[in-house]
Amino acid sequence: MPRVCSGFALENGDAAMRCIFAEKQSGQRSCAGLSGKCVFCDLRALPTACRTDKGQNKVIRSLRAFRKVYEDKPHIYNCAMMRVPEELREDLHARALAQARPPARAPRGQSAAESAAAAAAAWDAQLASRKRALRSLDKKRWTAYKKRRTADRSRVVKKFYVDQGLAPPPPTKARDVAENDCGLPAPESGERASFVEAWCKLGSWGVCGKCHSLQPRPLLPVDKARGKAGHHREGLQALPAR
């Protein structure tokens, strides 16, 4: 039989307070850890638990169980929160109230092409809500930009074709060439080259989970083994807050 918590020992040496932090039987004593106490009755272990991923998950799981009986027994949740370190109460309280959602899954039977199209549509919807940080370029600045773009594309053609003794490629009008792309045709040397190009266009940036700004992403081995659909999803996912 598992041991039950011995309760909360007061610092002045008075009798211990009875434990009330059982998750499944609200108001009853919880199972005890190695110290003979549960996490909420062991004030030495609780601060450490609240600062580790594994400990936080256990604390939040218990707090959510206490919230389910809050209308009838609010003292259980309130007492548990008062024992959490003060600087962590607001964060743990918000996470305890948030509903845990499973990761979204693609519908069964959805092909890779359909998944890519759905990801592209979602990404386009996100891009449609962008706002220009600066005013639009006037005619003079727009002309200067086009000249720089032409010079950059000429430099790329010279480096990868002319300097290598190859004939320059014909001007491409491919649908995947944006105005600020280098203007070269899609790679034909293999899937890995296509995946790296997809990372350059779609996966090299992500959205910060804290400030929602664009942040650069490093090129990882997995980026060389997935196509546009994976990079579209990566761009839509929020990066960890820095």
59 or 207, greater pLDDT: 59
Burial call 125-134: b when 16+ CB within 10 Å, e when fewer: eeeeeeeeee
Question: To the nearest 10°, the Cα dihedral for 134, 136, 139, 143?
Answer: 70
Map out the domains of the chain as residue ranges. Answer: 1-99, 170-242
Rounded CA gap, 195 and 202, in Å? 10
pLDDT band at 125 (very low <50, low <70, confident <90, very high): confident
pLDDT band at 241 (very low <50, low <70, confident <90, very high): very low
**Cβ(169)–Cβ(184) under 8 Å?**
yes
pTM of the model: 0.40
State whether residue 215 is helix, strand or coil: strand
Instruction: Compute CA 209 distance to the chain's CA centroid, rounded to the nearest angstrom.
Output: 6
Tens of pLDDT along 128-184?
Answer: 777 777 677 788 988 998 899 888 888 888 888 889 898 887 766 555 566 667 777
- In this structure, how many other beta carbons lie within 10 angstroms of the beta carbon of residue 37? 25
Tens of pLDDT along 95-109?
Answer: 888 865 555 565 566
**Cβ(31)–Cβ(40) under 8 Å?**
no
